[in-house]
Amino acid sequence: MKIQGTPVVPGVAYGPAVLAREEVPAAAIEAFASVTFPDAAAALSAYDDAAAAVADGFAAKAMSVSGAAAEVLAASAGLARDKGMRSLVRKQLNAGEQLLPSLQIAVEHFAGMFTQMGGLMAERVTDLRDIERRITARLVGVAEPGVPVPVDPSVLLAKDLAPSDTALLDPSLVLALVTGLGGPTSHTAIIARQLGIPCVVGATGAGRIADGTWVLVDGTTGLVVTGADPEESRTLAADDAVRRDAIAGWSGPAATADGVHVKLLANVADVPTAQTAAHAPVEGVGLFRTELSFLNRADEPSVEEQAAIYADVLAAFGQGRHVVARTLDAGSDKPIGFATHKGEENPALGVRGLRLSFDNPDLLDRQLDAIASASASSGVETWVMAPMVATVAEAGEFAAKVRERGLKPGVMIEVPSAALQAARMLEVVDFLSIGTNDLTQYTMAADRMATDLAHLTDAWQPAVLQLIAMTAAAGVTARKPVGVCGEAAADPLLACVLVGLGITSLSMAPAAVRPVGAQLGRVTMADCRRAAEAALAALDPEAARIAVRDALA
Ligand code: PEP
Ligand code: MG
């Protein structure tokens, strides 16, 4: 059986499939239906015990890991103990409802609410359903569903993975990850990239593979194959292991085989991620997502508080490296209490990013003051760019404010109108940075969070590549830097295409830097140009990937 999915993290793996258990067995649920509680209080107490056990399980796991994984697990523990959920369960029980339906009604209520809020909150629906399954399992007396810990190195197959599952994966036991749902920017993809595990998402049909079946996974092509020749598969995986060793040893700076320098930069979210990224072989930060430091804030942080955070991020990148700070990209998938407009019908097309400054210019001014102050105190070269820019006038006004403060202005190219106007944008700013995640979403009119639209939210789509080509060409003509800071920069094959189109820097999650750097070192600039031509000539993402692989072979 051959299944085509969306390749996310390159690498070849061959191993037995281990299936993540997703559902509580129906028989156990049916048997529980005949269990009766003396009264609503007794049923609520059973709920409390099960929810506490689930929360304690998350909390215990959180203790055994650190960083983002620990935060994800601690958040899940909090959600399992949520008072709002408990009171809704109690309300149903008091109204005479059985325990499991009460739990379902409460979960549906919150899932609906989160979905409506959109963005990051909508992503929490996966956590919520994970918690529902775990509480249900505890109530009916079976083991909590989730990812089994394999005894031998295995390929993990799942419909979708909850953050609490992926946070705990052991890369020495999980050879590859394959999910039926999910797109290139899904949570599974981000964690797999961080761990460096070959990963294919959106592999519809992977659910037909039985536990224990030997599977060959190619995270470069997106192919998941059963029944492949074992000898050949083992050789492919072993060859790939050699390639991965070369990647692990790559130390930068990046250049093509014929010596054309390409700046590799890190995407960072806050002070801790900046400090970690500073150890990667990067020449600075290409995207500091400033809004991510303030996701849980109801009130705007003062200029001084902002300046202190920015200064710490900048300080991590002294010694001749530079940092590109992006002004607040609040709104849509990143709602922020003190900035986002409430109740928008269509927040992805609403007042997000730079648009927040239209009726609140002081918010932008205060942030720029804070960035300028951090830049001055740290002495680190600081560039500043605005997200969600649609017109040249917006770019011009933003650039004036940035220049007034002695900083270097740029804009993100995330909206097709901005890409189409790239040459004129470069008349008013000093650099461009293409946000391929949003540029793809807006070009293809496909929500980047929609797991069932993964084939459209793919930066290899020819329409997206054309807009990137146009933007890069404008940069070449104007002799100004044009970088890419969306997920596309982290794809080693696509990185060659981008360089061939004239892109001068690639900014990505630190885990992607070595694979991209090693790949660029294997090809010449002429190879990259040929790859770019091949990609632009292809009719769809799959054909583009094949054509580029052939062009670089
Ligand atoms: C992008 O849209 O590609 C981007 C880098 O910005 P974000 O992912 O933060 O929206
Ligand atoms: Mg964006």
Instruction: Say yes or no to pLDDT of 170 above 90.
Output: no
Mean pLDDT, the chain, rounded, equals 92
Domain ranges of the chain: 2-21+147-247, 26-140, 249-552
Q: 462-503 pLDDT, tens per residue?
A: 999 999 999 999 999 999 999 999 999 999 999 999 999 999
Give the neighbor-by-neighbor strand order of the sheet with 174-179: 2-4, 223-226, 214-218, 12-19, 154-158, 174-179, 199-201, 6-9
Residues with CB under 5 A from ligand 2 (ion): 414, 435, 438
Q: Is 341 tagged catalytic?
A: no
Q: Is the CB of 146 under 6 A from ligand 1?
A: no
Token pair in block for residue 147: 């990812």
Common-topology check for domains 2-21+147-247 and 26-140: no
Instruction: Say yes or no to pLDDT of 186 above 80.
Output: no
Predicted confidence at residue 172, as pLDDT, reads: 85
Average pLDDT for 219-224: 92
Token pair in block for residue 97: 């409802």
Residues β-bridged to residue 178: 157, 200
Is position 321 annotated in a ligand binding site? Answer: no
Average pLDDT for 278-304: 94
Confirm or reject CATH 1.10.274.10 for domain 26-140, answering yes or no. Answer: yes
Of all residues in the chain, the percent with pLDDT exceeding 70 is 98
Q: 40-92 pLDDT, tens per residue?
A: 999 999 999 999 999 998 888 888 777 767 777 888 899 999 999 999 999 99
Nearest ligand 1 atom, CA 436:
3
Return the CATH class of domain 249-552: alpha beta
Atom 1 (ligand 1) nearest CA: 435
Predicted confidence at residue 163, as pLDDT, reads: 67
Q: What is the Å distance from ligand 2's center to 411 Cα?
A: 11
Beta strands at 199-201 and 6-9: parallel, antiparallel or unpaired: antiparallel
First to last CA, the chain: 26
Instruction: Say yes or no to pLDDT of 35 above 80.
Output: yes
Active-site pick, 279, 322, 485, 496:
485
Q: Are the CB atoms for 289 and 308 separated by under 8 Å?
A: no
Nearest ligand 1 atom, CA 434:
3
What is the Cα–Cα distance from 316 to 105, expressed in whole angstroms?
48
Q: Is 485 tagged catalytic?
A: yes
Q: Is the CB of 329 under 6 A from ligand 1?
A: yes
Predicted confidence at residue 119, as pLDDT, reads: 65
Of all residues in the chain, the percent with pLDDT exceeding 90 is 72
In this structure, what are the phi and psi dihedrals at residue 480, rounded to the nearest 5 degrees?
A: -125, 150
Predicted confidence at residue 448, as pLDDT, reads: 87
Please tell me the pTM assigned to this model: 0.71
Place of tokens 């009916």: 140
Q: 293-335 pLDDT, tens per residue?
A: 998 889 999 999 999 999 999 999 987 899 999 999 998 878 8
Return the CATH class of domain 2-21+147-247: alpha beta
Tell me, what amino acid is at 365? D
Residue 69 Cα distances to 162, 275, 290, 338, angstroms:
12, 17, 21, 27
Among the ranges given (146-150, 391-395, 451-455, 500-504), the one the predictor scored with the smallest mean pLDDT: 146-150
Predicted confidence at residue 188, as pLDDT, reads: 74
Active-site pick, 187, 199, 496, 528:
187
